[in-house]
Every structure is written in C-alpha cells, then in structure tokens.
Amino acid sequence: MFRSRSWFGGPWGGRPKNRLSLEHLKYLYSILEKNTTVSESNRGLLVESLRCIAEILIWGDQHDSLVFDFFLEKNMLSYFLHIMRQKSGGSSFVCVQLLQTLNILFENIRNETSLYYLLSNNHVNSIMVHKFDFSDEDVMGYYILFLKTLSLKLNTHTIHFFYNEHTNDFPLYTEAIKFFNHPESMVRIAVRTISLNVYKVQNASMLRFIRDKTAAPYFSNLVWFIGKHILELDTCVRTDIDHQSNQKLSNLVAEHLDHLHYLSDILLLDIKDLNAVLTEHLLHKLFVPLYIFSLTPAPPPPSLAVVTQNLAAVLNRNVDIDIQEMHNPRVSSIVALYLLSLVFLVVTHAPLVHALAWVILNGDHSVFKEGAAEILNSYVEHREVVVPGFGEPHESLEQALDTVIGHTSTSASSGADAVSEDSGVESTPAASSSPINRHIETVAEAAATRLRNITDEEKQRLQQTSSTSTQGYVELAKPFLDTVLQALDCTENDYLALLSLCLIYAMSHNRGMKNEWFEQVLSKSMHGSFSYRTALIEHLLNIITQSSQPSCRIRLITVEIALELLLTFTKSAADEAPCITATQQGLLFGARNQSMVVLRNFYKSEDIFLDLFEDEYNEMRKSQLNVEFLCMDSTILLPPTGTPLTGIGFTRRLPCGEVEKARRAIRVYFLLRRTCQKFLNEKESLLPLTNVVNLVQVDNVLDLNNSDLIACTVVAKDNTKQRRFLVIDALQLILVEPDAKLLGWGVAKFVGFLQDVEVQGDKDDSRCLHITVHRGGVTHNRTPLLSAKFLFDDHIRCMAAKQRLTKGRSKARQKKMYQIAQLIEIPGQLDSPLYPVCGTSAHSAGAGNTRLVQKGGLTANRVPGFAAVLRSNNSAGVSRTQMAQNRSLEGLRNESGGRSRRRSPMATGSPSSLRPDSGGMLDRDRSPSMSGGSHSSSQSRENSQARSSGNRSREGSPRMPRPRSEEIPLEDFQHSRNNSPHSRSGALGNPSPSSRSHTPSRMLHYDQISVHNASPREPSMLIGGTNALLNPLNGGVTIAREVLPLQSSEETSFIGNDGDAAADNRRKGRGTIETV
Amino acid sequence: MSYAYLFKYIIIGDTGVGKSCLLLQFTDKRFQPVHDLTIGVEFGARMITIDGKQIKLQIWDTAGQEAFRSITRSYYRGAAGALLVYDITRRETFNHLTTWLEDARQHSNSNMVIMLIGNKSDLDSRREVKKEEGEAFAREHGLVFMETSARTAANVEEAFINTAKEIYEKIQEGVFDINNEANGIKIGQQATPTNPALPGSGGAGGAANSGCC
C-alpha cells in the first residue's frame, strides 16, 4: 500500500532538520500549496507529506499548540478535500493515505479544543459524503473506521458538527447505514456500532430526524435483509438433512443472532419513537408475515387454489382465497419455531414481545391482514401503521436516503415502507421537551388500561369460539398456539417438539413479558372446560412419559426442558409446592418408575456401569439448563441424529450404542427423580453415592495409630522417588508422610478412590507394583491422577498391598453397586442381602465364585472391627489403639483429632446412654455373633489376644486374611446371627472380652440406627451387620472407616512376622478353617 | 496487488495497552517509533510472504466497540487470528485476560489462532507483570506468547507473522475451511499464486521481511 521511499532530499530544499516541528509542518504546507494538482510525478511526494502531517499534528496536539493553530489557520483540510476530489488524485493510492491521516488525526487527538477546531468547518462532512472507490478493501476499511472513530466522538456537544438541523443533513449516519449489508462482516459491524453510537446521543432534534427521515427506510431494508438471510437459512436446513453443511448453517445462525442482538441493542436504548418504528417493522414486515405465517399449515398448491377460485367464479360464489398469500414466502415450521424462540430469548422490549406473544397465543389468520394492531395501540400512540407483509422494500436504502435528504419535504412514496409523515412528525410529542415525564406516565397509564381492555375484549371474542371453515381446512380460534402445542407430539421423534419447547420456554422466561398476562392467556379455556394450561401440561407429561420408555426417540435435552417447563407451569403463585392434579402427579411418578425399570436392565456387574452412573450424576449436577445457549447451536435445526460423528453433544442427540443407551437411561432416571423430589419438596439424600464430607483430603492430618501402614517408595514416571506409607481406607487409597509433630500421625500426601485403582504386579520384581489411580468417570480427562511404581520392602508386603488394593477396589465398588441397587429398587435387593449381581453371576461357576469372594470381603469388613474392639478392651496397652479408633472418626477428618482422645473412654464407659431403645432388636440380632461368634470375630479376638499377650500365636493370627475374605464371610453374611457350626469362640476365645465387646458394638449400632431412621427407603428388617455396609448413607461409610484400620492392623501384625512363616501360617490357617 | 490469501485479524485487550500502536507499527513502517509520540490507527493491512506465498494481513482494532453486546459477540467471528494484548506495566490489564479470552473462545470459531502479547516491554523499570507469568498464562490456555514493544518495534513483526504462520499451517492441515469467509480467510484473486513472490520475500521459513506493498 504505502511505499516506503524517501522523498526527502528531493529537489525541494529547505526541509527542516526536526521532523516533528512547526517548521516542518510549514514546509509540508508549502508542498501542498505547490502541488495543488495531483499528477503521476508528485503523487508520491504528496502521500508522504500527508503522512507526515498526521505525525506532526499528533505531536503538536501533545506538545505544541502552535502546530494546530497553523493547520487551522491555513485551512489545510480543504487541501485534503481538493486532492481527494481530483480524478487522478482520487486514485486509491492517495485516498488511502488521506483516510489514514484522517484516521490517525481523529483517533489520537486528545485535546478537545483541537477536535472542535477540526470539526468546526464543514470539511469533515464533505469528506464523508465523498464517493470513494469502495471496491478497494483498504479504502473501505479506512473509510468505515473513520466514520466509526467519529461516531465515538459523538455527544450532545459535538452532535451539531455532524447533524445540521436546518438542512436536515446527517452524513455520518446516513453514509454509514448505506453499508449495512456490506459483504465484509467487519464493515457491517462498524455500521452497527456507528448507528448505535448515534442513537445513544440524547439530542431530540437529531433523533427526530432519524425517526422521521431515516428510520422507516433503514429499518425496512434492515428487516428485509434479515428476512432474506432467513430464507437462506431455511434453504440450508431443508437441503441439509444429513448434517453435511453444518459449518454453513452455524454461520448463518450466528449471523442471524448478530442481527437479533443488534435489534435488541437498539431497542434497549429505549428511544421511544425509534422503538415504535422498529417494532412496527419487525412485527409486520418479518415476524408476523414470515415467522407466524410459517406456523400455519402449508396451503394447497397455488394451481389448486386457482382452480378453486375459478370454480367459485363459475358457481358465482364468493370464496375467500387470497392468492397473494399463497405466494408469500414461508419457512419450515422448524425454522419458524426456532426463530420465534430466538426472538423471545434475545429481545426484551415489552411492546414487541407482548405483541408477538399475543399473536402466538391469541391470534388467528386475520393477523396477516390486520397485524397486531390492537396490542400495539396500547403501547404506541399515533402508530404509523405498517401493512403486514414480507417483501422487498420499494426503494433501496440508498435511494430512500437520497430522497429523504434531497427534498426536505418528502412525498411519501407509495408502499408499505413509506414514511407516513403527516401523522408521524406532527404528533410526535417529544418535540416539546418539558412535559415529557408526565407524558410518559400518561402513556404508560393509557397502555395499562388498554391492555386490560384488550384482554377483556379478547376474552369475549374467544368465548364465541368461532371455527369458520375456509379453504377446506378448519380455521381454529388460536391456530398458532395450536400449532405450537401440536408440535409437542413426540410419537415419531422430538424434532419439532424440542423447538416448540424452546419457544414456550423462551416466552415464559422473557423478562419483557408480564407473567400474569401470560398466565391469563393460558388459563383460558381451549374447548369448553379444557384450559390451555391443562393442555400444555398434558403435552409435557406425554413427552415425559414417552421419554421413560425404552428405545424412545426423545433426546435428553428435550426431557430436561419438558421437566423444567412442567415445574414452571405447575408452580402456583400462592405457595411453594407446585400444584398438580393427582392424575398428573401419577403420570409423572409413573414415568419415574418406568425409567427405573428401564435402568434396571442396564444394571450390570461390569465396572463401567458404576463409572457411568457416577459420571452421569456429576454431569447432570454440573450442567445447568440454558436454553439460550442451546439455541445458539444450529444443529438443533436438523433432524435428530444418533451418531456422535456429527460432533453434537450427547444430550442433544440420540444415544448410539449400548453404553450410551445406558447413560441415557441413567440420566433420564436422574432427571425424573430430581423433578419428582421437587414436587414432593424432598431433598436428595441418596446421591451422590460418595459422601464428599467423609473423604480424606490431601494435607489432612490423620491419626494412624494402629492403622495398617505399608511402607513403600513411590517411583513416579520421571523417576522421582518418595517414601510414603500406604493406607487403605474404606473408599480411598491414601499415601501419607509421617507427621513431624505427632507421633503416630501422618499427613495425607495423595488420595485417590479405591474404585479407580488399577494394580499390576511386576514380572521382574516381586517387591514392586504398578499402581494407577484413574480420575474416575468415563468421559473426560484420561490422564490418571497417579501412575507410579510402588516399591515395597519385601515380597510379602508387596503381596499384601496388592491384595488389599484389589479387595478394596471391589469392596468399594460393590458397596456402591448395592447403593445403586437400593436406589433403583432392584427387586430382591431389599429382602436378601445377596446382590442380584452376585446371584446372577453365581450361576456360572467360576465367575460366581469370585463374586462371592468379593462380597465376602465386603461383609467381613465389619467383623474385624469387633475383634479390634475386643482387643482394645483386652489390655490397657491396646486400648489406646481403640481410642484411636474412635478418634479416627474425627481424626481422619479433623486435623485436630488429638484433642478428641478423651471422648473414646467416655463412650466406652457409658454405653447405655448411647444405646437407643430401637437398637434393642439389632443388638439382640447381633449378640450371638458377639458371644457365640462367627468364627471371623473369634479369630480376630484370638488374634488380638495373641497380640495383647505379646506372645504371638502363629496358629491363630495368620489365619485371618484368607478366611475373612473367602468362605466365612459368605456364611457370615447369610447367617450372621446363629451360625453355630463355625463358632469356635468357646475353644479359642476369651469369654470376658467377648462380653465386653458389647460396648463398642452398641456404639456402632447406634450409628446405624440413626442412619436407619433417617432414610425412609431403608427396609425395616435390615440386618444390623449388613446395614452398616450396605447403607448408602454416611453411617455406613463411617462405620466401615472406623473398622477398617483395625482390620488392617491385623494384617500388619501378620506381615510383621517373618515372611516365610507368615505365608506358611496362612496356608495352615486356611486349612484349619476349611476342615472345620 | 494480488495475494494468495487474506487473513483477517482482530486486536483485543483493555484500552491503553497499545493495540493501535502495535497495529500501526506493523502495518506502516514509515511511522518510525519516536520517543515522545504515541500514534495508533485502528485499521491496517500489510503484505507478508510465507512459504513463498503472498499473504495479506488485514487487521481490525475493535477498540471502542465494547459497549454493545451485539458488537462484541460478532467481531470475534470472522477473524482468523486474534492478538490479545496486555500492558506489562499495568497488572489489571493482565488480570482481565481471562475475561477477554472467555469472550473470544465463546464467540470465535474454534480454529481462531490467538496470540498473547505483553506490550510495552521497553518499560522494564515499570514492569508489573513478569514475563514468566505471561508465559504461564499462555501455556495454560494454549496460546502463543510474546513480549513486544510498539515503541521500539521489538518483536512486533514476529508477533503478527508468527500468528500468520500458524494460520497458514492450519490451512495446510485442512483445519480451516478456506471457502467459508466467515472464518476470516479469503482466497486471493489468483487462487494459485504462480507468480513469484515480490522481491524481498523470505525463504521457505517465510520470515517474511516485507515492506509495504
């Protein structure tokens, strides 16, 4: 563009040394003076001079006021104009430089007086109206930026430099809006900015000019431009069934949203007169004749209509066929519903949204001829009536503007878009500025009364339900509302229904709408006693019911909006709880139960189900329904599809494959469950499955006295080594570092969920495990939380860690699976402690066996707890560990656990106070296992006994791990109370500790019972022992936690033994049990 | 003047960070940086050469257009590249980056190349934002980062040209749909630029030293 050549040192001598000085400007002025005619030879020199002038002027503005004085004194802007207007000078080469200089001038000037001086003669306006070569994109860019820069300088003072009241001249605005449909988007954006900056200026006479002279032509052209764009969008939707030109469609949608937001921004400026014109045009030139018209059923083909008319003529009968209406452009009802939704989502200007809503809710076909006159009359005095009809303006904007500006008194050109001046100008009350406030008040009052009147009139009109038959199809009283409601039908798919729901949502949530008014319309009767509200609710319930069926074709987002709307429309103003009839509530709850049934089919033992389940719950909680956001997505305009290859989000398409079907079933259930709870005014108590409050966090200080710790070295991927202790909690894997201040305490350095742990042995190193802790969930970040090599002290510890982790994982998972089973009321879950998962898989011998083992492990969880308690009472030495147990309740959570040491003796000391009456039964249930004992407990007792005596029995203690996890727990699980064959307590146990064991066990029961009472879903006949494990609530988790460290401690003690002996003993121990 | 491609850029960032100065510094070399003079312009174009191809960069400063929602939501679309500028001597301009980025990400097409620029690197004594902070922010959000000075012209060329290179690579990879002008890329009059690049065009690396056309 600009050649960087030095023009200095040329034949013109006397150039001052200092580039930035008044002298230099004087020198440049002499160049301008000498070169008044632009020619090939001096072009370069002129360009460079013009460029330098910009530099010096800005420098002068900041440093030397004399520079500006000189510039103005010599009227240098006129030289600019002179150069610009020359034919050869008008070449873009010089013009670009001129425009750049002007841009630099107006953008960088800080001194307000300088600005005023620059604007004071009319040169700037003359430059603006100059016809540059706009086909040059650089000229166009600099030109429009020049106008934009000037528009940013507009205020009530500067407006007079641009708008000439006497000549009705406002080139800044009128020149800018001529580019409103320029192909370059940045230019269009600049035009919008300029127009908004102009409207913003509070100058009555300028606004009057805008309204009277330019509003009608500009808005009618703008609306036509938007309309054409919509037709293009519609074509794109019609032809793009296979989601092929997604990009194009999304651009068209984004572009349309830009338009809509622009209109909304104008309306938000709240310029009454301007808004009236814009509203009228939008409504009667676009919304009604194109959007609303497209909601009517497609008419018979024109040929048929002509035939009918001819026939009527022959028969001498009057048939009312509007042939013109036949030819009106229309868009598909999909697009129409979508566009209407967008209007209500974006625009909040009350007269406009009210009128449009009124047409949709009350209007009939007469609206195409009459428009929404009545409703608009209540808002706008002296409306300039615009005849409804979507068509090209008779004049292009440029022509219209030229006419307007050319003749001060415009002869109103015929046609809809003409300015009806007489009514407009004279009646505009804004001219008299003094009583404006009063005036507005009265207008508002009048509007209110009229609105009331209208609704009354409407009521009367509606009561005479006139269904006239025209052209073979029945014209309903509210054909548009009926179309919207009919679109809610989802029997085939939810293509239309989703958009219809969006529209209803948008209308009911629009800030500009008066709610009572909306309510009033809805409560009107449809046919006889049937109100529209009832019809709507029934449609919604229909969608909801259908969505709960297996293999339905309704997208999740549709379900979500339908449920949201159900809540909206059943909400009664009087009280909090939504009002709904019993039948309707029955339908809703039926749908929830049905969704539960569907979900049960997906309830599987596979790990992924749990992951999906938790993931979906998190997803649902994270995502707030945002219809505005949804409606920015152009893909909802295309037929629903199942394939994720389109890049459409899961909730906005149909599920693809089994996994997604499972996800969908889970989500539908969650949504319905949530809605039902809202209707019942209930709080969610069973979800999420993990109670976050009970989790150990990183940096928590934990009391690990008597917890089972396995020392290990964690070798990360980058080979950094860290010495840590591995602790396995009920739900979490914790890596701790010893606490520097408290002996026996540790600081959690890493926590991960056991359910997400993956353990692998190392082929080459028997002391080594590869442990990966995944992030959980199925869809997102796949990088694991931790992936490292764990190096243990010896093979035994390694094995123990592996076993514990594997078991911990399956225990954690099974516990949650049971929670889910309870949640979705899997039959048999509640009567039998056996999981159906286990039950079903048990049929196949091998797999069944492992299931049982795992399940056993789960139940065994609590058994050592009792054992530990026993032991703790056994000897003073160990009882400290038992205190630690109790402490661990808080200690694991509160870092100040140390202070709670006192509590445990108190708790053990006065058990009766803690024991509620209702605990009796459970306690009784449990007691046989205490005294008589399942052999697990007896073993632990035996174990603890051995330890307390300081004389470790190798017969006894090492037995623990295997039986606990395998055979015994199963039986313990099934016959936990009176399983005498296994009871070896008499032989091995110490009677006195066993009787003492009641104390802590009651404590546990107390916990369980309180939990039990809190949960209404809990079956009354729960077994105490299993309850703790299976109860999905905190109680269960807590207890498991309380018990677990001790269970671990046994293993530690076992591991603490000489490795070989321990392994030996384990085998022995197992043998013993098996022979029993 | 013919070009193979036209890339549309926008410059965003708080007011006063030197956006229009950067723009002028890049598009018009005739304006030599002068110590006590700040000149900027909100539009500019310049030809560069990448990979032997003439590429026109057209840069639109969006300053002053933030007042209206309809404007902010539209100017991001239609740009192939964005320079997100902050002032290293004003911490708050750095703090606002997240908002700018959110806006950009929400409204732009997903392929838009965003370059983070810490401007006014010549004012090191008044520095409030460390270079490392800028680097970290860029890394976190997947942006290219550079510190520039419109006053000394340091890195200004690089900032615009590196962005262009990245866009060009994306075109080569087929990520950008170049037939869709809404992406901010226009194919020049001659679709296959067979005419050898103008004198002074850089080598294959396209370190594109080019004067104004």
What is the SS3 string spanning chain B? CCCCEEEEEEEECCCCCCHHHHHHHHHCCCCCCCCCCCCCCCEEEEEEEECCEEEEEEEEECCCCCCCHHHHHHHCCCCCEEEEEEECCCHHHHHCHHHHHHHHHHHCCCCCEEEEEEECCCCHHHCCCCHHHHHHHHHHHCCEEEECECCCCECHHHHHHHHHHHHHHHHHHCCCCCCCHHHCEEECCCCCCCCCCCCCCCCCCCCCCCCCC
So what's the pLDDT on residue B138? 94
Report the alpha-carbon distance of residue B47 to residue A643 in Å, rounded.
Answer: 44
**pLDDT digits over A228-249, tens only?**
999 999 988 888 766 776 778 8
**pLDDT digits over A365-377, tens only?**
777 776 666 666 6
CATH of the domain at B31: 3.40.50.300
Interface contact flag, A55 B40, Cβ < 8 Å: no
Place of tokens 């099974």: A814
Report the alpha-carbon distance of residue A558 to residue A552 in Å, rounded.
Answer: 12
Sign of CA dihedral A838, A842, A847, A852: positive
- Containing A814, the helix (H) or strand (E) segment is helix A795-823
Interface contact flag, B40 A104, Cβ < 8 Å: yes
Prior bond to A688 cis, omega within 30?
yes
Task: Name the residue with higher pLDDT: B151 or B96.
Answer: B96
What mean pLDDT do residues A539-549 have?
88
Å from B55 to nearest chain A CA? 13
Q: Please count the CA atoms within 13 angstroms of the CA of A586 that sit on its side-chain side.
A: 3
Q: How, if at all, do strands A732-738 and A721-728 pair?
A: antiparallel
So what's the pLDDT on residue A683? 82
The 3-state secondary structure of A883-952, one letter per residue: HHHHHHHHHCCCCCHHHHHHHHHHHHHCHHHHCCCCHHHHHHHHHHHHHHHCHHHHHHHHHHHHHHCCCC
Window 42-81 of B: residues touching A by CB (8 A cutoff) are 42-43, 45-46, 58, 60, 64-65, 67-71, 73-75, 77-78
**Which residues of chain A neighbour B46 with C-beta distances below 8 Å?**
1
So what's the pLDDT on residue A377? 67
**pLDDT digits over A769-787, tens only?**
888 888 766 555 667 788 8
Alpha helices (H) along A623-743:
627-630, 657-680
Among A38-52, A66-80, A946-960, the least confident range: A946-960
Q: Which amino acid is at A489?
A: D
Report the alpha-carbon distance of residue A207 to residue A212 in Å, rounded.
Answer: 8
What mean pLDDT do residues A199-223 have?
91
Q: How, if at all, do strands B81-87 and B5-12 pair?
A: parallel
Identify which of A80, A107, A49 has the alpha carbon closest to the alpha carbon of residue B23: A107
Determine, yes or no, domain membership for B102.
yes
What mean pLDDT do residues A706-731 have?
84
Under DSSP, the state recorded for A834 is: S
Among A412-426, A596-610, A936-950, B123-137, the least confident range: A412-426
Helix (H, G, I), strand (E, B) or coil at A171: helix
Q: Measure CB to CB from residue A1 to each of B39, B45, B77 and give the nearest one.
A: B45
User: Which residues are registered as beta bridge partners of A715?
Assistant: A721, A789
* For residue B4, pLDDT beyond 50: yes
Identify which of A167, A165, A152, A161 has the alpha carbon closest to the alpha carbon of residue A127: A161
Give the pLDDT band of residue A88 (cuts 50, 70, 90). Answer: low
Give the pLDDT band of residue A511 (cuts 50, 70, 90). Answer: confident
Give the pLDDT band of residue A528 (cuts 50, 70, 90). Answer: low
- Name the average pLDDT for chain A: 70
How many domains does chain B fold into? 1
Query: B199 — contact with chain A (CB < 8 Å)?
Result: no
Cβ-contact A1065, A960 below 8 angstroms: no
Determine, yes or no, domain membership for B165.
yes
Q: Which residues contact A931 (CB under 8 A, 6 or more apart)?
A: A985, A991, A994, A995
Determine, yes or no, domain membership for B27.
yes
Task: Name the residue with higher pLDDT: A269 or A384.
Answer: A269
Give the pLDDT band of residue B113 (cuts 50, 70, 90). Answer: very high
What mean pLDDT do residues A252-266 have?
93
Determine, yes or no, domain membership for B212.
no
Interface contact flag, B36 A62, Cβ < 8 Å: yes
Which residue range forms the structural domain that includes residue B89?
5-187
**pLDDT digits over B27-55, tens only?**
888 887 777 777 888 899 999 999 999 99
Give the pLDDT band of residue A357 (cuts 50, 70, 90). Answer: confident
Query: A551 — contact with chain B (CB < 8 Å)?
Result: no
Quickly list DSSP for A38-65.
--TTTHHHHHHHHHHHHHHHHHHHHH-H
Interface contact flag, A145 B39, Cβ < 8 Å: no
* For residue A981, pLDDT beyond 80: no
**Which residues of chain A neighbour B30 with C-beta distances below 8 Å?**
2, 4, 48, 51
**pLDDT digits over A801-825, tens only?**
888 888 888 888 888 888 888 887 7
Determine, yes or no, domain membership for B33.
yes
Phi, psi of A422 (to 5 degrees): -50, -50
Q: How, if at all, do strands A525-527 and B113-119 pair?
A: unpaired
- Containing A728, the helix (H) or strand (E) segment is strand A721-728
For A596-696, where are the E strands, in sequence order?
none
Cβ-contact A1007, A1043 below 8 angstroms: no
Determine, yes or no, domain membership for B155.
yes
- As given in the structure block, the two tokens for residue A99 are 């425009």
Q: How many CB atoms lie within 10 A of CB A597?
A: 16
The number of residues making up chain B comes to 213
Counting DSSP H helices and E strands in chain A, the numbers are 50, 12
Cβ-contact A372, A359 below 8 angstroms: yes
Q: Which residues contact B36 (CB under 8 A, 6 or more apart)?
A: A59, A62, A63
Query: B175 — contact with chain A (CB < 8 Å)?
Result: no
- As given in the structure block, the two tokens for residue A131 are 């016809």
Q: Measure CB to CB from residue B39 to each of A3, A55, A255 and give the nearest one.
A: A55
So what's the pLDDT on residue A449? 43
So what's the pLDDT on residue A995? 39
So what's the pLDDT on residue A222? 93
Determine, yes or no, domain membership for B204.
no
Interface contact flag, B24 A104, Cβ < 8 Å: yes
User: Which residues are registered as beta bridge partners of A737?
Assistant: A747
So what's the pLDDT on residue A326? 55
Report the residue of chain B nearest A55, measured CA to CA: B39
Interface contact flag, B1 A3, Cβ < 8 Å: no
So what's the pLDDT on residue A812? 84
Percent of chain A with pLDDT over 90: 11
Cβ-contact A826, A837 below 8 angstroms: no
pTM (two decimals): 0.71
Determine, yes or no, domain membership for B162.
yes
Query: B110 — contact with chain A (CB < 8 Å)?
Result: no
Report the alpha-carbon distance of residue B185 to residue B53 in Å, rounded.
Answer: 14
Place of tokens 């159906």: A836
Give the pLDDT band of residue A757 (cuts 50, 70, 90). Answer: confident
Q: How, if at all, do strands B53-61 and A786-792 pair?
A: unpaired
Give the pLDDT band of residue A724 (cuts 50, 70, 90). Answer: confident
* For residue A1043, pLDDT beyond 60: no
Give the pLDDT band of residue B11 (cuts 50, 70, 90). Answer: very high
How buried is residue A34: exposed, middle or buried, by Cβ count under 10 Å (0-12/13-18/19+)?
exposed
* For residue A132, pLDDT beyond 60: yes
Task: Name the residue with higher pLDDT: A577 or A488.
Answer: A488
Identify which of A1021, A1002, A832, A1024 has the alpha carbon closest to the alpha carbon of residue A922: A1024
So what's the pLDDT on residue A718? 84
**pLDDT digits over A849-907, tens only?**
333 333 333 333 333 333 333 333 333 433 344 444 444 444 444 444 344 344 434 44
Report the alpha-carbon distance of residue A118 to residue A115 in Å, rounded.
Answer: 5
Phi, psi of B54 (to 5 degrees): -80, 125
* For residue A1010, pLDDT beyond 80: no
So what's the pLDDT on residue A942? 45
Give the pLDDT band of residue A1002 (cuts 50, 70, 90). Answer: very low
Distances (CA, A) of A187 to A139, A141, A143, B113, B145: 11, 7, 10, 21, 29
Place of tokens 């104390």: A999
Print burial letters for A988-1008: b (CB count within 10 Å at least 16), e (below 16). Answer: bbbeebbebbbbbbbbbbbbb
* For residue B65, pLDDT beyond 70: yes
**Which residues of chain A neighbour B73 with C-beta distances below 8 Å?**
257-258, 261
Task: Name the residue with higher pLDDT: A758 or A990.
Answer: A758
